[in-house]
Amino acid sequence: SAVISQKPSRDICQRGTSLTIQCQVDSQVTMMFWYRQQPGQSLTLIATANQGSEATYESGFVIDKFPISRPNLTFSTLTVSNMSPEDSSIYLCSVEIRDGYTFGSGTRLTVV
């Protein structure tokens, strides 16, 4: 099954700045998924990223706030823009494997 390398693992950022999270997969995948998990909460899908096309965003998430790049079939980035404390969360990327999904190790973001 696919292995995902996600970085950074954690960061503390000033409000108003942006952070770009990277995910590298060890095999080619059609779709990559970006999730947010607030402390003690479930996973919320932010967007689905396909190579060569615009990402598809879920209700409540917009491209200006969470721009996504998908330059090839093994890599994607998610940027959290103009951050506020409410963006403090864990961000995870995910790809489909046989019968399920595998996740990156997550990026724990704290906005101060």
Partner 1 sequence: GQQVMQIPQYQHVQEGEDFTTYCNSSTTLSNIQWYKQRPGGHPVFLIQLVKSGEVKKQKRLTFQFGEAKKNSSLHITATQTTDVGTYFCAGADRGSTLGRLYFGRGTQLTVWP
The verdict on 104 binding partner 1 (CB under 8 A) reads yes
Q: Partners of 49 in the beta sheet? A: 32
How far apart are CB 66 and partner 1 at their closest, in Å? Answer: 16
Helix (H, G, I), strand (E, B), or coil: what is residue 86?
helix
The verdict on 105 binding partner 1 (CB under 8 A) reads yes
Interface with partner 1 in residues 26-45 (CB under 8 A): 33, 40-45
The contact mask relative to partner 1 for 61-100 (x = CB under 8 A, - = no) is: -------------------------------x---xx-xx
Tokens 């998924």 sit on residue: 33
Residues, the chain, total? 112
Separation of alpha carbons 31 and 28, rounded Å: 9
